[in-house]
Chains A and B, each alone.
Chain A
Amino acid sequence: MADSPPAVVTHNPELQHHFTTLEQQTEAAVMGMWVFLITEIMFFGGMFAGYMIYRFMYYQAWLEGSQHMDFWYGSINTVVLLCSSLTMALAVRSTQLGLRRSSVVLLLITILFGLAFLGIKGVEYYGHIVDEHQFPGPSFRFAGAYTAQVEMFFSFYFAMTGFHALHMVIGVGLVSFVAYHAWKGRYHAHYYTPVENVGLYWHFVDIVWIYLYPLFYLISHIHK
Chain B
Amino acid sequence: MFSNTFPLWPARASSISGPVDALFIFLLMLCGLMCIAIFTAIIVFAVRYRRRPGHEAIPIEGSNAVEFTWTLIPAGVFIIIFVWGAYLYFQERTPPKDSMDVYTVAKQWMWKFQHTEGQREINELHIPIGRDVRVIMTSQDVIHSFYVPAFRIKQDVLPGRYTIAWFRATAAGTYHLFCAEYCGTNHSGMVGDVVVMEPAQYQSWLSGGQAMGSLAQTGQGVFDSLGCSTCHRMDTQGRGPNLMGVYGKPVLLEDGRTVIADENYIRESILNPAVKVVAGFKPIMPTFQGIVSEDQVNALVAYIKSLNPQPVGPAETPTFKGPAASKADTRQR
Contacts and interface: CB of A to CB of B under 8 A. Distances in A.
Indicate yes or no for A touching B, C-beta below 8 A: yes
Interface of A: 57-61, 145-149
The 3 closest A-B pairs by CB, nearest first: A145-B274, A145-B283, A146-B274
B255 A148 contact: no
19 contacts: A57-B275, A58-B275, A59-B255, A60-B255, A60-B274, A60-B275, A60-B283, A61-B274, A61-B275, A145-B274, A145-B283, A146-B274, A146-B275, A147-B287, A148-B272, A148-B287, A148-B289, A149-B272, A149-B275
Contacts of A146: 274-275
Interface in B247-278: 255, 272, 274-275
A146 B275 CA distance: 7
- Residue among A57, A61, A148 with the highest chain B CB neighbour number at 10 A: A148
- The binding surface of chain B is classed by DSSP as loop
A91 to B, nearest CB: 48
Interface of B: 255, 272, 274-275, 283, 287, 289
Contacts of B283: 60, 145
- The binding surface of chain A is classed by DSSP as helix
Contacts of A57: 275
A145 B289 CA distance: 13
A146 B287 CA distance: 9
Contacts of B274: 60-61, 145-146
Contacts of A147: 287
Nearest to A64: B274
A148 B289 CA distance: 10
A62 to B, nearest CB: 11
A57 B272 CA distance: 12
- Residue among A59, A60, A61, A146 with the highest chain B CB neighbour number at 10 A: A60
A125 B289 CA distance: 29
Contacts of A61: 274-275
A147 B272 CA distance: 10
Nearest to B273: A145
Contacts of B255: 59-60
- Residue among A59, A145, A149 with the highest chain B CB neighbour number at 10 A: A145
Nearest to B257: A59
- Residue among B255, B272, B274 with the highest chain A CB neighbour number at 10 A: B274
Contacts of A59: 255
A61 B255 CA distance: 12
A58 B268 CA distance: 12
Nearest to B274: A145
A128 B287 CA distance: 25
A61 B283 CA distance: 12
A6 B287 CA distance: 73
B321 to A, nearest CB: 39
- Residue among B272, B283, B289 with the highest chain A CB neighbour number at 10 A: B272
A165 to B, nearest CB: 30
Nearest to B283: A145
Nearest to B253: A60
A59 B253 CA distance: 13
A146 B283 CA distance: 9
Contacts of A58: 275
Given A61-B275, A148-B289, 17 more contacts: A57-B275, A58-B275, A59-B255, A60-B255, A60-B274, A60-B275, A60-B283, A61-B274, A145-B274, A145-B283, A146-B274, A146-B275, A147-B287, A148-B272, A148-B287, A149-B272, A149-B275
A148 B255 CA distance: 19
Contacts of B287: 147-148
A57 B268 CA distance: 12
B81 to A, nearest CB: 30
A57 B274 CA distance: 12
Contacts of B272: 148-149
Contacts of B289: 148
B143 to A, nearest CB: 18
A145 B274 CA distance: 6
A59 B255 CA distance: 9
